[in-house]
A and B are shown apart, each in its own frame.
Chain A
Amino acid sequence: MMGTAEPAAAAAGHQAPVPARGLGAGPAVPVIEATGLASGYRGRTVWSGADFSIGAGEFLTVLGPNGAGKSTLLRMVLGLLRPAQGTLRVFGDPPRRGNPAIGYVPQRRTLDPDLGVRAADLVGLGVDGHRWGVGVSPQKRREKGQDVSRALASVGAADLSGRAAGRLSGGEQQRVQLAQALVSRPRLLLLDEPLASLDLRSQQEVSQLVADLRAEYGFTVVLVTHDINPVLGVTDRVMYVAAGGVSVGTPEEVITSTSLSRLYQTDVEVLTDSRGRIFVVGLEAETAHPHSPRGPRP
């Protein structure tokens, strides 16, 4: 089911299914760079004082409780929301709507089961869905069909092409949405809670798939999740968004009792079980009441 081409084969020179566009914009320009960045709407600050820089090809996992402003960060990178304060640069420029270099998989539960549209048509929207008109050029249609097939194959979902999107399982839908984001050959992939509503094995599969695709095409990944375990083996760095602040570091640096206690301003303990899974204890009140006095500062 994984079906991803081995990176070795791709490196050996056969045509990459979805080559990343303009790889190597220069290592000097960070993919995302924030200075004194704050987010919030209508005068209410959700978090502030974020300084970080994400380099090309990096895998960053964004963690934090509900309502802490994780999706808000993605919306700012997409140019859908202005920073409340500070500056944000994407590929060295201010964020702009509809940047074709960014692939985006939004947070969602599942598609409407009555949605009878084919998976391939959903992926095809990622190719030319933003263009005006009907799109009648036979050549462009053929190219679109090839792009869609390649993208579906690269996520191991070639067999889902003709299936009704609404009838796919959660993990299958996640692959199709990933293919839709990849079909425009992005240099930056934003994934908002791609592991939510998946069972444990699908969580592992999807995060491994993202890691494999990154290794193959070299794009940068920003993945939002509230559970670190499925991505622990594949993520380079972790961003923790909580209690009005943001901290970035390697998993070993950030997910420690000291670091999290400082971030949440309460006693937090990080435990590791015999299988290497991490448990964060002491945030029950925080999780239940994300807007409690200890939550985001006004």
Chain B
Amino acid sequence: MSGALASGYGFLSGPSWNLVADVHYMLSFAFMRNAFAAGTASALVAGLIGYFVVLRASSFAAHALSHIGFAGAAGAVLLGINPVLGVGALSLAASIGMGALGRRLQGRDVVIGLVMAASLGLGYLFISLYSGNASDAYAVLFGQIFGITTGAVRITLLTSVVVLGLLAVMYRPLLFASLDEEVAEARGIRVGAVGLAFMMLLALAVSEAVQVSGVLLIFALLVAPGAIAGRVFRRPAAALALSAALAILITWASLALAFYTPYPVSFYVTSLAFVLYLGVRAASHGAGLRRELAASARSPREPAGDALPAATVRT
């Protein structure tokens, strides 16, 4: 089922625009049922983890983990095992390394970048060593949710359950450590351990999302919904819910669009995420301007005093 369905089909006739009938028709295909199941599970996880990725400003780490995962996918194809397991194993190992280094890794963009490049190169070597059909490995680069095997669907669902469970357990300490690391530490939270645990959850989320959006387009599913939700809602719980809902809606819409048109799923995922993000940015910019204008009209606000000269005493 895989290779041939790499991109969308433009299936038969177009949609009937009767939502129930169209969904029913799509789900009459086994590969679409698999795609919706795995896509929904990974989008839910990506949306929730993604909000914390944005809060913790660790989107570069997410990017790095997905690239390292590519080497794992290619290696798995070479060894004849499921690529998802390869992505999971290698990005999980990398996340432990990055999590253990913790704050020492901050600002080490050069080191992370070099590890990313080396991983991509290694993955390319594995692909060239592989004599069979390498489309499985290439699919990891851009995603191939229509080609997902039933085994991979099971792995994805199981991973989602594990990630959701762990996230629920560590929700409050993770939020505290993400928003206010120093106070969290002072209140007794092991911020290093929380950071390591989060990196491992991130690695699992990356391994899932890679199947939908691919290694190279991971940002669309893992970062965009969280970034959008953080601009819309100020309550973390509401923002998390919106982030998960957006990730799922983007995935569903992309699957449906790719089903009825000849273009690939990950193209729609990235485009929808990008357009939504631009729209929210523009809207919140406009709202911010309106608020400021309203505030300045209401009361002649005292000037922002922080610019005044401060210290008078030198010690």
Name A's B-contacting residues (CB within 8 A): 63-65, 78, 80, 97-100, 102, 104-106, 108, 112, 114-118, 121-122, 125-126, 128-135, 162, 164, 169-171, 177, 180-181, 196-203, 226-229, 277-281, 283-284, 287
Contacts and interface: CB of A to CB of B under 8 A. Distances in A.
A226 B175 CA distance: 32
A261 B220 CA distance: 61
Given A80-B185, A169-B304, A116 B230 contact: yes
Interface of B: 55, 57, 168-173, 175-176, 179-180, 182-189, 230-231, 233-236, 239, 304-315
B9 to A, nearest CB: 41
Nearest to B54: A114
Given A130-B173, A203-B310, A280-B313, A97 B188 contact: yes
Contacts of B230: 114, 116
Given A181-B183, A228-B315, 4 more contacts: A104-B187, A112-B57, A121-B236, A130-B189
A202 B55 CA distance: 29
Contact of B234 (A64, A117, A126): A117
Nearest to A112: B57
Lowest 5 A-B CB distances belong to which pairs? A98-B188, A129-B176, A199-B305, A106-B182, A199-B308
Contacts of B309: 199-200
B313 A129 contact: no
A128 B308 contact: no
A134 B236 contact: no
Given A169-B305, A200-B308, A202-B305, A134 B314 contact: no
Contacts of B184: 125, 129-130
Contact of B306 (A64, A170, A177): A170
Contacts of A162: 234
Contacts of A117: 55, 179, 234-236
A104 B235 contact: no
Contacts of A116: 230-231, 233-234, 239
B238 to A, nearest CB: 10
B305 A125 contact: no
A140 to B, nearest CB: 12
Contacts of B185: 80, 97
B175 A227 contact: no
A33 B211 CA distance: 58
Given A104-B183, A280-B315, A128 B236 contact: no
B313 A277 contact: yes
A277 B312 contact: yes
Given A171-B305, A197-B306, A197-B310, A128 B172 contact: yes
A200 B312 contact: yes
B171 A134 contact: yes
B314 to A, nearest CB: 6
A227 B312 contact: yes
Contacts of B187: 98, 100, 104, 126, 129-130
A126 B180 CA distance: 10
B311 to A, nearest CB: 5
Contacts of A171: 305-306
9 contacts: A80-B185, A104-B187, A117-B55, A121-B179, A198-B305, A200-B310, A201-B305, A227-B313, A287-B314
Contacts of B169: 132-133
Contacts of A229: 312-313
B262 to A, nearest CB: 39
B183 A180 contact: yes
Nearest to A130: B187
Contact of B315 (A126, A181, A196, A226): A226
Nearest to B313: A227
Most chain-B Cβ atoms within 10 A of its Cβ — which of A114, A115, A199?
A: A199
A17 to B, nearest CB: 20
A177 to B, nearest CB: 8
B183 A125 contact: yes
A122 B180 contact: yes
Contacts of B175: 125, 129
Nearest to B232: A116
A134 B183 CA distance: 19
A80 B312 contact: no
B271 to A, nearest CB: 24
B279 to A, nearest CB: 17
Most chain-B Cβ atoms within 10 A of its Cβ — which of A102, A122, A134?
A: A134
Most chain-A Cβ atoms within 10 A of its Cβ — which of B169, B183, B230?
A: B183
B239 to A, nearest CB: 8
A229 to B, nearest CB: 6
A171 B63 CA distance: 37
Contacts of A99: 188
Contact of A126 (B183, B188, B189, B314): B183
A280 B186 contact: no
A106 B183 contact: yes
Contact of A199 (B170, B176, B180, B310): B310
B172 A131 contact: yes
B186 A198 contact: no
